[in-house]
Amino acid sequence: MGLVNQYLKQPKPLKSNHLWRYTSWSRMHPLGEYSQIPEDVSLPTIKLTYLDGTIPEGFTIEQREHESEISELEPDVSASFIRAICAGKFLNLEIPKGAVFDKPILIDIHVTDKISALNLKIDNFSMNKLELITKISGDAEWFGLLREGELGKNSKLKELFVNKLDSNCKFLRSENFHLFNDAKYESATMSLGGFRCKSDIRAVIKGQGVDYNQKVAIHGRDKRNDDIHLRIFHEAKNSNSRVIAHTICDDSSRNTITGKLIINKEAQNTDAGQKFLNLLLSEDSKVNSIPELEVLANEVSAAHGASSAPINKEQLFYMRSRGLSLDEAKAMIIDGFLMSTFQNFSSNKLVEYCKSELEAHLN
């Protein structure tokens, strides 16, 4: 009961809290009431393979248990809730020191039943190199995923996260990674599935020489609502971070992307930036883009920008005049706009996998 009590002791999140302004906690809670703890929570089916289906060797994934009391970790309420309903159990993925993998590894997570949850801890020890794909799919009514861990000194992680959940699923994503000296982390998200999605993504840069890059592509259609909140904490000097997000809204969908850069006074010589681009395909769709800076250091380079625009009707007319249907023309525009998010992403294999998943989604 320790983790349950730890969750219940936290104040109920208010809509005045920036994190929950556009998607309230009560709308994301699987039972709708803050103090209710669901009992019948299933663990998703998980497969760990290379892309060709073979089993990778060289690291371990095993179930463990949290201590009854844990230190205060961010994200706050979402992480605490998922730990509580997972009954303190988590899957621990360890990539050993110095390990180098020449092929991408796929974590295929399939969720069923009414309520499903998973706490995944990733320990990426120093001097290693890994390309990782995490794909979630399935028809659960509600799925909560907490990912947390550390990237050790001089480790290199390139990652793709693909959300292809059923269109009726509520999805709560919470994650927090700490990066140490000279760690390189390239992360890309392709968010396509789920009915109502809320993500609280945080990175804490604790060492010098860190490069953190986050790319996010979101496709909203029908009545889909996707709300992604990112925070990057710079706590050490001589580090870099970049966030690029491309969002498409169609039909009556609603998308929100919030990014906050926090540069502490010790983080001199930081180079950080955010750029959000939005494309509206329907008059009934809506997007919110909120880039934010909180800079306490003097010697920094920090910038942000956001822009939204409707679909180019002349471009659409030109494509239809060449024999494409309206849906085909839209699909080509969606594919090009979302895939352009991943320009300069340094893993061709991950980008190719992402493109194949997007094309399957559009078809």
Report the DSSP beta bridge partners of residue 144: 117, 172
- Would you report the helix, strand and coil content of the chain in percent, each value rounded to 5? 20, 45, 35
What was the pLDDT predicted at 351?
Answer: 97
Give the SS3 label for residue 26: helix
Number of domains making up the chain: 1
Hey, is 28 helix, strand or coil?
A: helix
Ranges under pLDDT 50 in the chain = 73-74
What secondary structure, in 3-state letters, does 6-20 show? HHHHCCCCCCCCHHH
Q: Report pLDDT digits (tens) over 19-52.
A: 899 999 999 999 999 999 999 999 999 999 999 9
Q: Note the pLDDT of residue 73.
A: 47
Give residue 167's Cα distance to chain centre.
Answer: 18
Structure tokens given for 81: 């809730």
Nearest one of 42, 61, 59, 18 to 231, comparing CA atoms: 18
Q: d(Cα 264, Cα 322) in Å, to the nearest integer?
A: 54
pLDDT given at position 70: 57
C-alpha separations of 176 from 34, 84, 123, 151, 179 in Å: 22, 17, 12, 11, 10
With respect to residue 294, please indicate whether it lies within any of the assigned structural domains: yes
The candidate with the shortest Cα–Cα distance to 1, out of 40, 43, 37, 31, is: 37
Q: Name the residue range of residue 58's domain.
A: 2-312
Distance CA 184, CA 213 (A): 8
The H or E element containing residue 248 is strand 240-249
In a domain, 343, yes or no: no
pLDDT tens-digit readout, 272-303? 999 999 999 999 999 999 988 899 999 999 88
> What's CA 161's distance to the chain center, in Å?
7
Q: Does some domain include residue 331? A: no
CB contact at 8 A, 288 and 324: no
Rounded Cα gap, residues 19 and 22, in angstroms: 8
Q: Looking at the DSSP assignment, which residues form a beta bridge with residue 185?
A: 157, 212
The answer to whether 173 and 198 are in contact (CB under 8 A) is yes
User: What span, in angstroms and rounded, lies between the C-alpha atoms of 356 and 269?
Assistant: 39
In whole angstroms, what is the distance from residue 342 CA to residue 128 CA?
23
Amino acid at 117: A
Residue 65 lies in a domain: yes
pLDDT at 68: 53
Does the residue 322 lie in any domain? no
Asked if residue 41 is part of any domain, the answer here is yes
- Residue ranges of alpha helices (H) inside the chain are 2-9, 25-28, 77-85, 313-321, 326-339, 348-362
**178 in a structural domain:** yes
